[in-house]
Amino acid sequence: MDFEWVAIALGDVTWITLAFALGFLARLLRLPPLVGFLAAGFVLGSQGFSGGEVLQKLADLGITLLLFTVGLKMNPAILVRPHVWAVTVLHMLASTIAFGALVLLLSTLNVPLFSGLTLFHALILGFALSFSSTVFAVKSLQERGLMTALFGSVSIGILVMQDLAAVVFLAVSSGKFPLIWAPLLMLLIPLRPLFHRLLEATGHGELLILYGLVLALGGAELFELAGIKDDLGALIMGVLIANHAKAGELAKSMLGLKDLFLLGFFLSIGMSGQLTIEALMIGILLVPLIIAKSALFFVLLTHFRLRARTALMSSLALSNYSEFGLIVTAIAVSAGWMASDWLVVLSIALTFSFILASWLNSNGTSIFTRFRQTWLRFQRDERLPGDELFDISDATVAIFGMGRVGTGAYEKIRVLYGDQVVGVDADAKVVDKHHSKGRRVLYGDAGDPEFWDKIMHQHNLDLVMLALPQYTANLNAIRQLRSAGFSGQVAATAAFQEDEAALLKAGADTVFNIYAEAGTGFATHVAEPQKR
């Protein structure tokens, strides 16, 4: 037995336990557990602990798997749309210049840590602060079941474009350029059918997870060998199989692994340097500037014809600093361009930005509703395809969430009520799939107050069935319905018993526990033919 690895494992008990304790505390405070993980890293760093090889490997693997799962949910067509690539470019340029100018101003005033910084340093810091966090946005959207909503797709598209900019910076700053045979990576595209067939043949168990690891790590290694940032390879491999029917199942299967390995990333951020009073104060003072970043995103997105609510929700998802900003700063520090104190400053700013972003995203709907008239002043009359409102006045039953449960409910209700049923889903791919099978399913977001306001003024709905994949999405939809004045029957699904009471309290007339009721449905299905 290798006793060296035993020693490593015993040493790792400390940070694992502390990470759990502070992550649990963050959850009790209604903050993302990753805020607790960052705090654990700072505590360990202040006590002289260093990440070590094991933690660094966990961190690297976590980022690789994160980008792979982002790729699995990414629609490449969205990246070429002006409201994604143009907004990203304009925002990064404006943010870099604005942050850079602020750094130069503070340098002339001889503020501690800023004193002596040149235009070159200012542009690097401005560039680092212009990024938004892929890790935070993806986890936040996944937890609320909003990855496939329009504002979620726009947010992820902007983040992917930012990540590509970071990859270019890494290549240029390190002097590492693609090797001469790098164009051969284009051969991965005609190999897509092979990847799809293997995915179909892996089944639904451990082979599926292992195949995901092969694709993510294999793609990363191929790109690294070609002189290209390895994480981009994981992202591309995810995109290559994103349109397969099992891509969503693969993403869910790898969710636990990805979250586990990302723990190492957040802990390593906290251990990145020595915490000082100056670094702490400057890091905290950088946090309010996120509001300016968010406002700029909102103005640009509405200018490119997104509705006010869509633009606001996307802006809130991007209202933070980024782990890629830390990577940019780390490269500058390692190259001797900047003092290591700046890595600590950005780590502090990143940590507190996550706390602010968590509050903003949790209260996004109420922020829009409370200041609705203000947001609507920026809204243009013309709409982007997919962002328009629609009319369902001829329907008496509406089913929100057209996954397996919603589809089953749709087919049963159609037998009973005919064409008076309509399905609604926030995933454009799901909507297209149902259209191909002759179902009437519309693209819409149950969490959009404007959507509910419109149908409440012209509808004949007697029953709304909520089969959304996330408990919080169902809860928010019920609240929106009741606040809009809907007096008909509302039925919702739940996966856990403790969620049923909250849904009923919010205004649901009945709650169907999809697991508890599965046995009853199965028995009924078997027993009825026996009676005949």
Q: What is the CATH number of domain 397-531?
A: 3.40.50.720
Alpha helices in 241-340 (DSSP H): 247-253, 255-270, 277-286, 289-303, 308-317, 323-334
CATH of 53-376, one of 3.30.390.30, 1.10.10.10, 3.40.50.300, 1.20.1530.20: 1.20.1530.20
The Cα–Cα gap between 197 and 19 comes to: 40
Neighbours of 217 (CB within 10 A): 18
Q: What is the mean pLDDT of the chain?
A: 82
**Tens digit of pLDDT for each residue in 245-259?**
788 788 878 877 777
8 A C-beta contact, residue 262 and residue 135: yes
In SS3 terms, 492-510 reads as: EEECCHHHHHHHHHHCCCE
Q: Is the dihedral of CA 234, 240, 242, 244 positive or negative?
A: negative
Q: What is the mean pLDDT of residues 52-74?
A: 77
More confident call, 446 vs 154: 154
Pairing of strands 397-400, 463-466: parallel
Bridge partners of 345, per DSSP, are none
Q: How confident is the model at residue 389 (pLDDT cuts 50, 70, 90)?
A: low
End-to-end CA distance of the chain: 65
The answer to whether 113 and 279 are in contact (CB under 8 A) is yes
Is the pLDDT at 199 greater than 60? The verdict is yes
Cβ–Cβ < 8 Å for 103, 115: no
What is the pLDDT at residue 457? 62
436, HSE (Cβ side, Cα atoms, 13 Å): 6
Q: What's phi and psi for 301, nearest 5 deg?
A: -65, -40
Give the confidence band of 3 by pLDDT, cuts at 50, 70, 90: very low
The SS3 assignment for 397 reads strand
Q: How far is CA 106 from CA 118, 120, 288, in A?
A: 11, 14, 16
pTM listed for this prediction: 0.73
Average pLDDT, integer, range 190-203: 89
Query: What is the layout of strands, in order, in the sheet containing 463-466?
Result: 441-443, 421-425, 397-400, 463-466, 489-494, 510-513
pLDDT of 532 reads 54
Measuring CA to CA, which residue among 256, 240, 255 is closest to residue 198?
Answer: 240
* Cα 506 from chain centre: 26
Tokens representing 400 are: 């929100």
CB atoms inside a 10 Å sphere around CB 471:
20
Cα distance between residue 39 and residue 107, in whole Å: 29
Indicate the pLDDT class of residue 4, thresholds 50, 70 and 90.
very low
Q: Tens digits of per-residue pLDDT, 285-318?
A: 999 999 999 999 999 999 998 888 889 999 999 9
Q: Who contacts 76 (Cβ-Cβ below 8 Å, separation ≥6)?
A: 239, 242
- Reference 264, options 419, 61, 523; nearest CA is 61
Tokens of 152: 């979620």
CA distance 157 to 294: 16
Amino acid at 396: T
Is 127's pLDDT higher than 50?
yes
- The domain limits of the chain are 53-376, 397-531
- The mean per-residue pLDDT over the stretch 324-346 comes to 82
**Token output for 176:** 């590492």
pLDDT at 467 over 50: yes
The token pair at 76 is 């490449």
The tokens describing 502, both together, are: 């909250």
